[in-house]
């Protein structure tokens, strides 16, 4: 019976339905009255007969219309019956005699419908149809990612696209746009992916995106931005023009490489092209398309944008690459190459087959027209069927009869043949892809969870493994393609070829498997019984909700687009799968009533809105997955009691209810915030013994509690015997830092670990732990250590499964780190970050290394003779990426010197390597000394470098106790147009410490240290340091012990509210000019009114500030930490996408500059500024530090009473 309990596209709900009826009849928990039991028993017997007919017909190769109609009727009947049984079970209707009569009446009605279906089966003589001539076979030989016949093409494209690094004149360094043109299935995407992997590392920004037949510039732009910004996705609801501006800002003055795969029309290109800056940076854009007009249009953009000149080089006359216009015409494979590809996939590397099969193969190959995709897909039908000559003959004859078809039409026919050769469960899984938009990229893990929740996979302990095998089989057959491969050569994302997707969509409609509504299409008249509904309104500015269908039967709802077009979720009473990605003006999306949808198995929501969940959701007893990529108001108090919950992902600093250890069914938990959860909750993680994947984040907390939680976490992890993946990483809002010697706390995690990521600033080890060498299954390791020596490296060099290693070393190594012969046998990617680089590779070391990334600093006067040696021994190395920082005192000439030495070293390698060398500000070399784990924590002062001049300053003042100072970062940027904006307010009491002259370099490195002294007065007023400086300047203030009467600490940093961008747009009337009250180098300030009537000042940082989310929130925390009667503290912020906004209380008394102008000069001389709005008599020193913000007297607003 268990083998029947799976949902399928052909059989509908027959399998699960029979299983549930069996349970109701024979489970000791269900005692049914005699008449009802008899009725259900007869119903089950009727269904079993009907199911046997369905199984036979589902094996037909190409069923006719009559068969399809009959099967569809029976499928719908099975869904209706299962829905009824589910409602009976969930409502406990069998508890009374009256409801039993009602149930028996409905059972009789269903039996009558089954009888009618059986009679139609006999009347139509459906049993006479022949069986499927395409037997299904699981094929483990073929490889869906195999490359074939593109080496020469790749070489030509790489030569033309590869950026130039020297002697680049303005014309040759301009943006180049190239197009790969060719028919569907010829291998354009594969070629583009290989070129992207070959030269992508040589660009500062890069992205690979998939287009679709339906124009969707918004999706393409958002995908590009998330990739060029290192997967920081922009807000969902940004208008297209803002996305264009956002992308252009991030690409400005950068060398970038963008690939747009499968472009079908020029509408999207006309929009996206505006996001690509010109300039002599050797940037590249690569397009793939089936349509010649699209290729010409994209390359015309390049021709129109630059001066017409001779091409950089001319290819041979027989080349298919037209260098002058940038179009590469991709040709099909030759007959010999096609035959080799086909035979490799069917027979293996040593094909031995009879003369008859050879003839069949030649004819089949000829019909494939040299298209690699067609060849791969048809070969998958024959793999494992080399003895079935009848199958070979049938397919050969069928393809031979398809005359006068274009290559694309033949490709469709071959895909259909492959579809019919699939087993029933593979057909079902393949059709499920039709729910997503064309060009969508998938995570395997998402599909595995959705298939399991749908009931396509038998529910047992190995369900995930079975689903993954199904997915891999579809990949191996060429029906699903790889789209992104990570640094360890592991496939991360997948996609479906446009022609395959077209066939899938058509088949899903034929079987009423899915119903898809797209804004660009006329909404069809919907079936009365829609089971799986997909709505896509990504570009529909004026789209309306679909009408004309009944939401009740819908089991799966996928929505992508404007929230205004989203139907009411609560109307879908039988919903099992809910996937939402939406945007709009709703700040809070209310799902508090979702607990009435008792059949829910899977929930995934992605949005910029905040999600309101129900107070309790224990009624969702079937829920397996809850993933919310958005803010959540509160977590349901009884979520820990959901019996079947397997996957839980909540974003941000979420506090889970107590007793999380009760979720013993849970397999994946992301992200568990170490700061927000109680110590007891952290401790109870050790009770979740089924946990496979644990992601720990850290936002903000009282340091002592954070320390205690960390110790409790280390204890819990050791109890998780099934744990395979462990990640400790800071949340985007992380503002508390732990520099604890984790070696003394973390004893040994489970030996089952395959992935271990311990990232700063949460977890740093003094040395590489010994227990890591015991993790024999470890594949990925990312770790930060204070010191590293040869013993540490040797300890992990024998790990046989390790493919990716990232080592961050905070102190220079005492000696060269030598990678010995035969060390790290499977390692493919190595990243080594250390302020001072000393590496050596012996012959035979890391034999499979493909990618090497190094980060280090240039030092003043170094010779770099022992920087790196033996790189020529890395025989399989393909790519080197280097990031060179600057140590204190180093000049640009030092970085130039080290770059020259490094290039000379690389030149010793025998292979042509892909090389990327970039410059950075610096690479961390030192971290604070570890202290006792019970008390160790550091605040912002641990993050700031200790300037050498601090000692000098301290020695000259006995009136301020610097031993007890607290550092606060201050940043305010309002301005008065009547005041000169180029005058900083920082002054110096000690003339000898005043910079001798105004310079940008001085302004770039300011640290203002202020203290309160009753005896000293500041010397002069604003402008003394650098009156002409317009650069951004950092001001950090140290308040001494004696100033604490005026300044108070506030430990409750959670009081700052996070506003949505749309909320602030409304408050400021879309940032109208009428509401602007100030403007400066960092942006503008607007008057705004919040929904509750509060008047606020909204400071919008300009895009040129280049401030990341973490830096922004760190600064915000510092400002929020200080309170004073005259200090204006922020009430909130917004950090959506590229937006960086601070919200202050509105100040009625203008700016400090205006106030000072009205003062007598002598009074002005006695006033300096301790922080934003703090007026104290102070003395100031100027010290070097590499932070970048600005502060002027016109930037300091005055509060009421100042």
| Alpha helices (H) in 1077-1122, listed in sequence order | 1109-1120
Q: How far apart are CA 330 and CA 316, in angstroms?
A: 16
Pairing, β 284-289 against β 176-181: parallel
Instruction: Please compute Rg for the chain using Cα positions.
Output: 33
Q: At what angle do helices 463-476 and 424-431 cross, to 10 degrees?
A: 80
Burial category of 510 from C-beta neighbours within 10 Å (exposed 0-12, middle 13-18, buried 19 and up): middle
Stretch (H or E) spanning 504:
helix 498-510
Could you say which DSSP state residue 289 is in?
Answer: E
Whether the CB-CB separation of 717 and 749 falls below 8 Å is answered with yes
* SS3 call for 992: helix
Q: How far apart are CA 247 and CA 228, in angstroms?
A: 8
Could you say which DSSP state residue 62 is in?
Answer: S
Stretch (H or E) spanning 445:
helix 444-454
Stretch (H or E) spanning 1144:
strand 1141-1145
Tokens of 425: 């469960």
Query: What are 546's strand-pairing partners?
Result: none
Nearest 5°: the CA angle 1009, 1014, 1018 is 50
End-to-end CA distance of the chain: 81
| Alpha helices (H) in 685-809, listed in sequence order | 703-717, 790-796
Q: How far apart are CA 662 and CA 669, in angstroms?
A: 13
Whether the CB-CB separation of 1165 and 987 falls below 8 Å is answered with no
Tokens of 956: 């000259």
Q: How far apart are CA 780 and CA 804, in angstroms?
A: 5
Q: Which residue has the tokens 């292979």?
A: 911
Whether the CB-CB separation of 1174 and 996 falls below 8 Å is answered with no
| Alpha helices (H) in 147-237, listed in sequence order | 151-161, 188-199, 217-228
Query: Which is nearest to 1196 in space by CA: 1132, 1131, 1126?
Result: 1126
604 in a labelled binding site: no
Q: How far apart are CA 1023 and CA 53, in angstroms?
A: 91
Q: Kindly tell me the number of DSSP H helices and DSSP E strands found in the chain.
A: 30, 43
Q: Which residue has the tokens 């033996």?
A: 870
Q: How far apart are CA 734 and CA 487, in angstroms?
A: 26
Q: How far apart are CA 341 and CA 563, in angstroms?
A: 48
Q: Which residues are annotated as a binding site?
A: 1099
Q: Which residues are annotated as a binding site for ATP?
A: 1099
């Amino acid at each position: 019976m268990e083998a029947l309990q799976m949902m399928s596209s052909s059989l509908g709900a027959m399998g699960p339905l029979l299983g549930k009826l069996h349970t109701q009849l024979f489970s000791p928990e269900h005692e049914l009255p005699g008449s009802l039991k008899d009725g259900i028993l007869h119903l089950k017997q009727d269904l079993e007969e009907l199911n046997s007919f369905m199984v036979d017909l589902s094996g037909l190769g190409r069923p006719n219309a009559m068969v399809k109609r009959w099967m569809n009727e029976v499928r719908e009947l099975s869904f209706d019956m299962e829905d009824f049984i589910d409602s009976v079970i969930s409502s406990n209707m069998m508890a009374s005699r009256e409801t039993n009569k009602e149930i028996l009446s409905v059972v009789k009605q269903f039996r009558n419908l089954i009888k009618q279906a059986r009679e139609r089966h006999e009347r139509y003589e459906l049993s006479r149809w022949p069986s499927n001539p395409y037997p299904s076979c699981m094929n483990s030989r073929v490889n869906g990612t195999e490359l074939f016949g593109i080496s020469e093409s790749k070489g030509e494209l790489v030569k033309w696209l590869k950026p130039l690094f020297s002697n680049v004149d303005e014309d040759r360094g301009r943006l180049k746009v190239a197009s790969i043109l060719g028919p569907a299935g010829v291998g354009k995407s594969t070629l583009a992916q290989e070129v992207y992997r070959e030269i992508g590392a040589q660009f500062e920004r890069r992205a690979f995106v998939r287009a679709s037949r339906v124009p969707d510039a918004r999706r393409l732009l958002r995908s590009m931005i998330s990739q060029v910004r290192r997967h920081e996705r922009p807000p969902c609801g940004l208008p297209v023009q803002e996305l264009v501006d956002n992308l252009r800002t991030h690409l400005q003055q950068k060398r970038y490489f963008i690939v747009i795969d499968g472009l079908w029309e020029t509408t999207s290109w006309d929009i996206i092209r505006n996001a690509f800056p010109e300039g002599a940076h050797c940037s590249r854009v690569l397009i793939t398309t089936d349509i010649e007009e699209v290729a010409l249009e994209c390359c015309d953009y390049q021709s129109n944008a630059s001066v017409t000149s001779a091409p950089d080089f001319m290819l041979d006359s027989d080349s298919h690459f037209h260098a002058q216009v940038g179009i590469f015409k991709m040709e099909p494979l030759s007959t010999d190459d096609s035959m080799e590809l086909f035979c490799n996939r069917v027979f293996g590397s040593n094909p031995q087959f009879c003369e008859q099969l050879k003839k069949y193969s030649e004819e089949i190959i000829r019909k494939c027209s040299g298209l690699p995709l067609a060849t791969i897909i048809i070969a998958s039908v024959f793999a494992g069927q080399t003895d079935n000559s009848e199958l070979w003959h049938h397919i050969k004859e069928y393809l031979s009869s398809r005359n006068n078809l274009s290559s694309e039409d033949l490709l469709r026919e071959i895909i259909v043949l492959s579809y019919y050769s699939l087993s029933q469960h593979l057909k079902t899984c393949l059709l499920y892809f039709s729910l997503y938009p064309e060009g969508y990229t998938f995570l395997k893990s998402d599909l595995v969870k959705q298939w399991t929740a749908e009931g396509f996979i038998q529910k047992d302990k190995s369900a995930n493994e079975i689903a993954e095998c199904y997915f891999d089989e579809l990949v191996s057959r060429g029906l699903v393609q790889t789209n992104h491969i990570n640094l360890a050569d592991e496939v991360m994302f997948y996609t479906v070829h446009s022609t395959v997707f077209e066939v899938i969509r058509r088949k899903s409609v034929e079987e009423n498997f899915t119903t898809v509504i797209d804004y660009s299409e006329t909404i069809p008249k919907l079936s009365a019984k829609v089971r799986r509904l997909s709505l896509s309104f990504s570009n529909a500015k004026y789209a309306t909700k679909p009408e004309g269908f009944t939401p009740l039967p819908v089991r799966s709802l996928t929505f992508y687009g404007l929230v205004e077009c989203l139907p009411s979720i609560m109307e879908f009473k039988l919903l099992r799968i809910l996937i939402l990605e939406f945007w709009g003006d709703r700040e809070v999306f209310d799902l508090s009533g979702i607990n009435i949808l008792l059949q829910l198995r899977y929930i995934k929501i992605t949005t910029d809105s905040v999600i309101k969940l129900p107070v309790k959701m224990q009624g969702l007893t079937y829920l397996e997955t809850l993933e919310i990529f958005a803010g959540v108001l509160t977590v349901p108090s009884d979520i820990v009691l959901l019996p079947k919950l397997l996957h839980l992902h909540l974003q941000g600093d979420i506090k889970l209810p107590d007793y999380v250890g009760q979720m013993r069914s849970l397999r994946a938990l992301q992200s568990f915030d170490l700061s927000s959860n109680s110590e007891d909750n952290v401790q109870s993680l050790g009770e979740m013994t089924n946990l496979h994947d644990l992601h720990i984040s850290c936002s903000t907390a009282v340091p002592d509690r954070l320390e205690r939680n960390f110790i409790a976490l280390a204890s819990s992890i050791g109890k998780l015997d099934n744990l395979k993946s462990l990640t400790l990483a800071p949340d985007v809002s992380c503002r508390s830092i732990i520099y604890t010697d984790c070696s003394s706390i973390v004893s040994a995690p489970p030996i089952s670990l395959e992935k271990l990521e311990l990232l700063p600033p949460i977890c740093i080890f003094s040395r590489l732990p010994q227990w890591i060498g015991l993790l024999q299954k470890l594949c990925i390791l990312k770790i930060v250590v204070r010191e590293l020596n040869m013993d540490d490296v040797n300890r992990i060099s024998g790990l046989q499964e390790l493919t990716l290693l990232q080592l961050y070393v905070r102190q220079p190594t005492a000696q060269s780190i030598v990678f010995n012969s035969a060390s790290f046998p499977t390692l493919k990617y190595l990243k080594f970050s250390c302020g001072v680089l000393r590496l050596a590779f012996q012959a035979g070391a890391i034999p499979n290394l493909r990618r090497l990334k190094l980060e280090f600093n240039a030092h003043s006067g170094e010779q770099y003779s022992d920087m790196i040696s033996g790189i020529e021994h890395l025989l399989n190395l393909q790519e080197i990426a280097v990031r060179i920082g600057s140590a204190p005192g180093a000049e640009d000439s030092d970085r130039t010197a080290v770059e020259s030495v490094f290039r000379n070293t690389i030149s010793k390698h025998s292979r042509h390597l892909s090389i990327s060398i970039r410059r950075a500000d610096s690479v961390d070399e030192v971290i604070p000394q570890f202290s006792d784990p019970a008390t160790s924590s550091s605040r912002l002062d641990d993050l700031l470098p200790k300037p050498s001049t601090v000692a000098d300053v301290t020695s000259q003042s006995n009136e301020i106790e610097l031993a007890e100072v607290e550092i606060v970062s201050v940043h305010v940027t309002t301005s008065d147009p009547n005041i000169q904006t180029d005058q900083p307010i920082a002054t110096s009491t000690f003339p000898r410490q005043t910079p001798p002259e105004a310079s940008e370099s001085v302004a770039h490195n300011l640290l203002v240290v202020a203290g309160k002294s009753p005896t000293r007065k500041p010397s002069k007023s604003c402008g003394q340091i650098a009156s002409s400086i317009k650069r951004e300047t950092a001001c950090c203030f140290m308040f001494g012990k004696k100033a604490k009467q005026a300044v108070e600490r506030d430990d409750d940093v959670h009081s700052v509210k996070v506003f949505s961008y749309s909320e602030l747009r409304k408050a400021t009337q879309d940032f109208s000019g009428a509401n602007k009250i100030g403007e400066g180098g960092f942006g503008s300030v607007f008057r705004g009114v919040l929904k509750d009537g509060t008047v606020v000042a909204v400071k919008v940082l300009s895009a040129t500030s280049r401030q990341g989310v973490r830096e922004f929130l760190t600064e915000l925390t510092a400002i929020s930490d200080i309170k004073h009667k005259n200090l204006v503290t922020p009430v909130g912020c917004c950090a959506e996408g590229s937006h960086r906004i601070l919200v202050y209380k509105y100040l009625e008394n203008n700016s400090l500059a205006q106030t000072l102008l009205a003062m007598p000069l002598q009074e002005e001389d006695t006033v300096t500024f301790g922080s934003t709005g703090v007026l104290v008599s102070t003395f100031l020193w100027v010290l070097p530090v590499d932070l970048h913000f600005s502060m002027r007297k016109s930037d300091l607003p005055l509060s009421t009473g100042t």
